[in-house]
Amino acid sequence: MSNNTPHNHAHEDEFDLSIDATIDLGLDGETLNDSTGSTASPLVLRSGEEPTRDRIVVLGRTRAGKTIYLSRLYEQCWHGNGPLHMETSSGKTHLALLNAVAEMSEKRRWPAATEESTYLDFQITWQGHSFTMVSLDYPGEVFRKAFVQQIEDANTAELIDHVQRAAGIVLLIDPKVLASGTIGDAADDDYGMVQALRFIRGLPGGETVPIGLLLTKIDVNADLIRHHGGLRGFAVKYCNNLLRIVPTLTLFGTCAVRSRRDALGKDIPDLTKPARGLENPIVFCLRHIIANKNKARQATTQRAQQEFIQREIKEDEKAQTQDTRFWLWANMVLFAGLAAVGVLTWLVVRQFL
Ligand SMILES: Nc1nc2c(ncn2[C@@H]2O[C@H](COP(=O)(O)OP(=O)(O)OP(=O)(O)O)[C@@H](O)[C@H]2O)c(=O)[nH]1
Ligand SMILES: [Mg+2]
């Protein structure tokens, strides 16, 4: 994109950043353990057992774009005919999500900052698989409190509990905050996200949870990302600490709602143009969740088979021992019988001698 594009906005088809790119820095497991082991997560594990993983969790600091991403994703998947379909089980949630999009489209108003945490639960259908996705639209401040300041209160406990149950994670980051935000703002996406990832990876079974990094607002950040060589180049420069925790981090870019300047120079939502890259991170999580489930099922079947074989071997051994004992006793009885007959015969014969 040329540098003289007004207000740094990308033209509709100029950015092709929704393509995911897996990053592998070539760090082996040991290096990773070394780098993560020395600084144990201050977040306390709520239990030592593997948690029930039933949700995809969307994590992001304040103004990362969580509300807009979730509502536009839902609107597209509800109305669209694409491979991913979403339906909420609550009419109230359905209306809230569609109203948020309608307000942007009709009133050209961005949604207000989220004030309190709201659970959004969806039934997702994809390639014949059904999956329940529970997401939490929470005020970004709660993220900072939980993972940067590590304050324990009802809100942070709820967020941490939510994260513990994640079967897949989508981290939302506004690239501009990392590249040119204040130290405090960038700390949410850098230090805060590192703590969140370390916490997730440290949970029992947490090493297999798929984690996607979604760079948001690509319509206004396309130049910045291109300047650093695309999604991969940007992540290597600004997300190296996240990559240390998750060396194979899959990257995505999205533009949920484009913005444009109105006559007064104010940024307003523009829904006349299509969204980009909304579904990719969800499909990525679903693919891994299904693969993880299949692996777990295979492991269970294998374990059951091994247990069955072990049981059979034990029963065989038991039956063999019983057989051996029987023949031992039978032989002893036979010998005793023969001996008794011999003695009797000898006694009888001796009478006649
Ligand atoms: N250009 C552009 N701007 C966006 C996009 N998504 C979000 N924004 C801008 O980012 C702001 C914050 O988006 P939200 O979705 O409300 O962010 P949030 O993460 O829910 O923020 P909190 O509720 O405060 O935690 C919006 O008011 C928009 O100005 C996008 O796809 N493109
Ligand atoms: Mg919000």
Domain containing residue 268: CATH number: 3.40.50.300
The pLDDT, as a whole number, for residue 50 is 76
The pLDDT, as a whole number, for residue 33 is 33
Q: Evaluate: CB of 60 within 6 angstroms of ligand 1.
A: yes
Mutate to test the pocket of ligand 1, among 110, 262, 271 (most ligand atoms within 8 A of CB): 110
pLDDT band at 331 (very low <50, low <70, confident <90, very high): very high
Residue 135 has phi, psi (to 5 degrees) of: -120, 160
Kindly tell me if the per-residue pLDDT of 14 is higher than 60. Answer: no
The pLDDT, as a whole number, for residue 296 is 85
Kindly tell me if the per-residue pLDDT of 40 is higher than 70. Answer: no
Domain assignment of residue 75, yes or no: yes
Domain assignment of residue 86, yes or no: yes
Mean pLDDT of the 156-170 span: 91
The pLDDT, as a whole number, for residue 104 is 96
Question: What one-letter code names the amino acid at 103?
Answer: E
Domain assignment of residue 38, yes or no: yes
Residue of the CA atom closest to atom 26 of ligand 1: 110
Contact of 53 with 165, CB cutoff 8 Å: yes
Mutate to test the pocket of ligand 1, among 67, 143, 155, 278 (most ligand atoms within 8 A of CB): 67
Nearest partner of 215 among 180, 170, 247, judged by Cα: 170
Residue of the CA atom closest to atom 4 of ligand 1: 217
The pLDDT, as a whole number, for residue 7 is 43
Domain assignment of residue 206, yes or no: yes
Mean pLDDT of the 271-275 span: 92
Domain assignment of residue 301, yes or no: no
Residue of the CA atom closest to atom 6 of ligand 1: 65
3-state secondary structure 225-243: HHHCCHHHHHHHHHCHHHH
pLDDT band at 44 (very low <50, low <70, confident <90, very high): low
Tell me the percentage of the chain whose pLDDT exceeds 90.
56
Mean pLDDT of the 6-35 span: 40
Domain assignment of residue 346, yes or no: no
Kindly tell me if the per-residue pLDDT of 3 is higher than 80. Answer: no
Cα(315)–Cα(91) distance, integer angstroms: 57
Closest approach atom of ligand 1 to CA 138: 25
Domain assignment of residue 331, yes or no: no
Cα(160)–Cα(145) distance, integer angstroms: 11
Specify the number of domains making up the chain.
1
Mean pLDDT of the 179-197 span: 85
Nearest partner of 256 among 188, 196, 144, 170, judged by Cα: 170
Mutate to test the pocket of ligand 1, among 15, 67, 68 (most ligand atoms within 8 A of CB): 68
Residue 208 domain boundaries? 6-285
What distance in angstroms lies between residue 319's CA and the mean position of ligand 2's atoms?
67
pTM of whole model > 0.85? no
